[in-house]
Amino acid sequence: MTGQKRQEIEIGGKRHHLLFSYNMLCMVEEQGGTKELLSADIGAKNFTGARAILWAAINASKAGSVTIEEAGDLCEKYAEEHGGIEALAQKINEMLGAANLVGATGKNPNPAPETAGP
C-alpha cells in the first residue's frame, strides 16, 4: 500500500489526524466492515461503514482517540457543516483514493474530459 497514508480532516473547527494503513483496515473489519466496503464507493446509505472508517483512521493515527460513538458524532457534524451525508461519503472516498488502499476507488470529482477516438 502506497499513497497518502497520513491525512487530516477538519470537523467542528478541530483538525483530526488520520492514518490509512493495514492496521486501520483491520480495525474497520473488526467493527463489522468488510473488504467489499473498501472496494466500492461509500454511499449515503452506508452510515456504519463511514463511521467505522473515520473511527479507525483517527485511532490508527495515534494522534487522537475517539470511541465509535464519537466517530458517529463527528460524521454527523461533518455532514451538517458540508451540506449532508453525501459530502461525508465523497470526502471518505477521496481520502481512501488518496491513500491508494487496495480496492478503494477514490473517484476524482473533476475527471479529465474524454476525447473522441479516431
Give the separation between CA 101 and CA 80, rounded to whole angstroms.
27
- Is 115 within a domain? no
Q: Label residues 11-20 b or e (16+ Cβ within 10 Å = b).
A: beeeebebbb
Q: Which 3 state secondary structure label does DSSP give 15?
A: strand
- Is 1 within a domain? no
- Is 84 within a domain? yes
Its domain, for residue 12, covers 6-99
Closest CA to 71 of 22, 21, 109, 33: 33
For 83-104, give the DSSP string: TSHHHHHHHHHHHHHHHT-TT-
- Is 107 within a domain? no
- Is 80 within a domain? yes
- Is 56 within a domain? yes
- Is 58 within a domain? yes
Looking at the structure of the chain, the number of domains it has is 1
> Quick one: which H or E segment has residue 43?
none
pLDDT level of residue 17 (50, 70, 90 thresholds)? very high
- Is 20 within a domain? yes
**Prediction pTM value:** 0.76
pLDDT digits (tens, 9 = 90+) for 31-83: 876 655 555 556 556 788 889 999 999 999 998 899 999 999 999 999 999 99
